[in-house]
Amino acid sequence: MRFHAALAPLLAETMSQLVRYGFINGLPGFVTLERDDTVQTMALQIDGGKIVGIYVTRNPDKLRHIGVPIH
Among 62, 64, 27, CA closest to 43? 27
Q: Given this model, what pLDDT does residue 46 score? A: 94
Q: Where are the domains of the chain?
A: 2-64
Question: Residues 1-39: pLDDT tens digits?
Answer: 677 677 667 666 666 777 888 999 999 999 988 888 888
Q: What are phi and psi of 64, to 5 degrees?
A: -55, -35
Predicted TM-score (pTM) of this structure: 0.70
- Residue 44 to residue 10: CA distance in whole angstroms: 20
- Residue 62 to residue 60: CA distance in whole angstroms: 5
Q: Residue 59: is its pLDDT beyond 70? A: yes
Using DSSP, state whether 4 is helix, strand or coil. Answer: helix
